[in-house]
Structure 1
Amino acid sequence: MPKNDALINKGVVVIGDQDDKIPSPIIVIGTARGGTSMVAGVLAKLGVFMGDRASHPVYEDVRLSEAFEKQDMAQTALIVKEYQTRYARWGWKRPSIIDHLDEVDALLPNARYVFIYKDILSIAQRNSISMLAEITEGMDRALSQYRKTLRFVRQKSPRAMLVSYEKASAYPEAFLSTLESFCGISPSQEEHQTALAFIDPEPEDYIEATRITKSQGKLLSCDSRRVSGWARYVHKKQHAEVEVFVDDRSVGVVVANEPSPGGGAPANEPCGFTFTLPAGESLSEDASVRARVVNDVVDLGNSPVRVG
């Protein structure tokens, strides 16, 4: 028997006065790794300006956010005025502003808010993968920030759309259609379909772009006693630690801080490494050798190699 569509929970609720049809800023509010990039990306695909320096896959307005976070309210107000002059519809996404909702409201009193809520364990696990954060601390932080949004909604009664990330992923058409109506957007069919295709519950490019352990490197050579290559972090400036495995057994860790060994390594960056096996260990003929940066999830290029 088919389900009554009206009885299906699609995880989208619109609140506040919706009679005012004048275009207004669209503020995306959520905790870090909580789905704000999905909402901001969808808005961008629908033609909403999300910032001069907002780019795939996070769509974050770095220019406006930097001025706001420096408490340079004069510069912040100038940027807002510029956006309002240049664009009929523009948006702002920055997860950290969830802790400054009253200040955002004072800056943009006529804003429309999209609050995105995600399963707190999922948020904490994503922060563990991307930022090596502790799981229960991440869950507690998400809960605390979500309580702030509820206090703001109760006190200010803003024009707002409350969205379940999980339900938006399960019913993307319902989420997208409600978002378009809430923001007063009339996209082309192509824009609508592009935005729909952007809704992905496991966006690999976003995960790759935001995890601090993301590394690059390559195994270059190995003999019976030594393994050499290069490795570096992509998103942080410190020497990478490389773990070496022989036949899938960890045999030790080495810091990649030697002069560039070539083989695709940056020419002026000390990121080479030479690992000498511990006493009593040796690489037998046909042994499998691989390496990866500690805490990364991907082996270095050329892994595995076989001795001989």
Structure 2
Amino acid sequence: MERSSAIITKGKSLKEGPRTYIVYGVMRGGTSMVGGVLRGMGLHLGPDVDSQNQESAAFAGKPIPEMRKTIEEQNELHEIWGWKFPQAANYVDRLWGTIRKPHLICVYRDAVSNARGLNRWHPVGELQAIHESLLAQQKNLALSLMRGCPSLLISYEKAARNKEQFVEELADWTGLEANYEKFDFDGFMSEQSYKSFEDYCKEGFGPENSSDANSAA
């Protein structure tokens, strides 16, 4: 593995056939960037996806039975799909039996940088924010360690620093296609606040056709 690589892998990922990707991490920790990159590769991230944070409304604060129903519906519609929610480790165990061929994608961010971002949005004190970030990261790691499924651990900082290499690594692990003629990956990954997914889609590509090419529908 090159020193510039942004990833650590656990298990062998599937690159063909049905599978589900769950993108999680910590709040203000880079999951929106990774979710957007996956959408740029054509991955469907659930119904009613927010254009800026890449989260499906169906997996943000919904009761477990409703999320199970959504998973079953999406399994029928899409052979390959997933969802992004930073705190998914808080509930994904209760959904596990419904998830088809789960693949975990966990995004890590430097705890100090993450704490500064958290305090801008949710002021709790800098040291307390670091503490909360590290506790969440420990929980996320435990999920990857305990579940016998393919897992990808991503360094947000290294991904942002080596954009093209990261996009290639992510495409290789998922089996998805990173087509720069359809989506501006470099622009979308540039460091700034939330950005709209549509602004980086090129002509003929957008949310309405940002879906897996192997739809089961």
TM-score by length of 2: 0.81
Q: Is the 8 A contact 1:101 1:152 kept in 2?
A: no
Q: Is the 8 A contact 2:20 2:102 kept in 1?
A: yes
Match of 1:11 among 6, 18, 32: 6
Distance in 2, Cα, partners of 1:7 & 1:87:
34
After superposition, the Cα gap between the structure-2 partners of 1:179 and 1:52, relative to the gap in structure 1 and judged at 3 Å, is same
Query: What is the aligned partner in structure 2 of residue 186 from structure 1?
Result: 177
Amino acid at match of 1:32: M
Q: Is the 8 A contact 2:13 2:150 kept in 1?
A: yes
Amino acid at match of 1:63: A
Kindly report which structure 2 residues correspond to 1:157-306, keeping only aligned pairs within 5 A, or say none: 157-191=148-182, 193-203=183-193, 205=195
Amino acid at match of 2:131: D
Do structure 1's residue 155 and structure 2's residue 146 form an aligned pair?
A: yes
Amino acid at match of 2:80: R
Do structure 1's residue 54 and structure 2's residue 49 form an aligned pair?
A: yes
Query: What is the aligned partner in structure 1 of residue 211 from structure 2?
Result: none
Give the secondary-structure state (helix, strand or coil) at the position aligned to 2:67: helix
Match of 1:64 among 54, 59, 62: 59
Query: What is the aligned partner in structure 1 of residue 126 from structure 2?
Result: 135
Q: Is the 8 A contact 1:176 1:196 kept in 2?
A: no
Give the secondary-structure state (helix, strand or coil) at the position aligned to 1:151: helix
Distance in 2, Cα, partners of 1:170 & 1:93:
22
Q: Is the 8 A contact 1:29 1:115 kept in 2?
A: yes
Residue-pair matches, total = 196
Structure 1 residues 103-133: Cα deviation after superposition (integer angstroms, max 9, x where no partner): 2433325211111000111111111112223
Structure 1 residues 68-119: Cα deviation after superposition (integer angstroms, max 9, x where no partner): xx23x2x322211211222232221111222234224333252111110001
Q: Is the 8 A contact 1:14 1:162 kept in 2?
A: yes
Match of 1:119 among 110, 114, 117: 110
Q: Is the 8 A contact 2:15 2:173 kept in 1?
A: no
Query: What is the aligned partner in structure 2 of residue 144 from structure 1?
Result: 135
Larger Rg: 1
Amino acid at match of 2:104: Y
Amino acid at match of 1:178: E
Q: Which runs of 5+ in 2 are unaligned?
A: 197-217
After superposition, the Cα gap between the structure-2 partners of 1:15 and 1:36, relative to the gap in structure 1 and judged at 3 Å, is same
TM-score by length of 1: 0.58
Match of 1:86 among 77, 87, 92: 77
Distance in 2, Cα, partners of 1:18 & 1:47:
18
Which is richer in strand?
A: 1
Q: Which has the higher contact order (CA 8 A, sep 6+)?
A: 2
Match of 2:39 among 23, 27, 44: 44
Q: Is the 8 A contact 2:43 2:80 kept in 1?
A: yes
CA RMSD of aligned residues (A): 2.1
Distance in 2, Cα, partners of 1:55 & 1:140:
29
Distance in 2, Cα, partners of 1:167 & 1:90:
25
Most deviating of 58-67 and 99-108 = 99-108
After superposition, the Cα gap between the structure-2 partners of 1:77 and 1:100, relative to the gap in structure 1 and judged at 3 Å, is closer
Q: Is the 8 A contact 1:57 1:205 kept in 2?
A: yes
Q: Is the 8 A contact 1:25 1:91 kept in 2?
A: yes
**1:54 Cα deviation after fit:** 1.0
Distance in 2, Cα, partners of 1:156 & 1:98:
11
